[in-house]
Amino acid sequence: MTDRDDTYKEVIKTVGPDIHFIITGHTHLERAIDIGGGRFYFNCGTWIRLLSFTENMLKNEDSFNPVFNLLKNCTMDDIDKASFSDAPFVLDQNSAVCISAENGKVTGRLVHIVKDGDSVAQKTIKQFQR
């Protein structure tokens, strides 16, 4: 979430100090970083499903074999329903960045869009205010 990856470094080099909220996306990696000096960087990440590979899955061939077989032999529906160590394999997460004026200040938020039946809500993951 706070990793200053290559995308962050390249974007920051091109944006002047008068820009307080910098928003990027489509890297599949959420970011919410306090740059300092009242400046903030957000990357909303992605809007598609992500596969969650854990260290335990990747530690050796035996632990990875069930994952490999799932990916090689199963349908997308099977993959969507799969879980390993009681955790879903597919992370279906919609992320967004919201900028708003509140009480004379500007707030930037990285949020997840959460569906609950017929309703949709925002869950704040990280926020900064200036």
Tell me the pLDDT band of 80, cut-offs 50, 70 and 90: very high
SS3 74: coil
Whether pTM > 0.95 for this model: the answer is: no
Domain residues of the chain, as ranges? 6-48+93-129, 51-88
Residue 10 has a pLDDT of 94
Residue 97 host element (H or E): strand 94-102
Indicate the CATH number for domain 6-48+93-129: 3.60.21.10
Q: What is the mean pLDDT of residues 77-99?
A: 92
Closest CA to 33 of 53, 75, 4: 4
Residue type, 71: L
